[in-house]
Amino acid sequence: MAHTYSSNFVHCIFSTKQRRPLIAADRMNGLFVYLNGIAKCEGIALITAGGTPNHIHLLILLPANASLAQTIQKLKGSSSRWMGKDFAWQEGYGAFSVSPTQLEIVKKYVEGQEEHHRKRSFEEEFQLMLHSCGIEYDSRYVFG
């Protein structure tokens, strides 16, 4: 697209179905490599990834011509098949815009998930992010 410029950094979060610990530690890096390959094929820069056995965080740079919903659908769908028949992602996701001035902070946060979750559960973390971004939600339904 001529004369089209964008800076769409997005912090994406999605969990395994019922937030079960389905991502084995020895498969985590392989999952991130696979997701990076899918992202590259779609023209998306996967800046960094992190996670725990029940959810992942991705920091991506979304090009101007890409839809966030379609991007997440492709990433989740392809990686779910790659993980195997007993694996599934929870329906839905969280996506939070990131200012370029905050990239390093978010990058460290994404990469430090194991340590971070020694203090706070995924559910607590996700609701805190929704709250800090001013997103209204009903706690009875936020996790499906």
Ordered by start, the domain boundaries in the chain are 8-132
Burial grade of 124 (CB within 10 A; 0-12, 13-18, 19 or more): exposed
Q: Quick one: which H or E segment has residue 15?
A: strand 8-15
Residues 6 or more apart whose Cβ sits within 8 Å of residue 116: 109, 125
- Over residues 8-56, the pLDDT tens digits come to 999 999 999 999 999 999 999 999 999 999 999 999 999 999 999 999 9
Our measurement of the distance from residue 44's CA atom to the centroid of its chain's CA atoms, rounded to an integer in Å, reads 13
- Over residues 51-106, the pLDDT tens digits come to 999 999 999 999 999 999 999 999 999 999 999 999 999 999 999 999 999 999 99
**pLDDT of amino acid 1:** 54
CATH class of segment(s) 8-132 = alpha beta
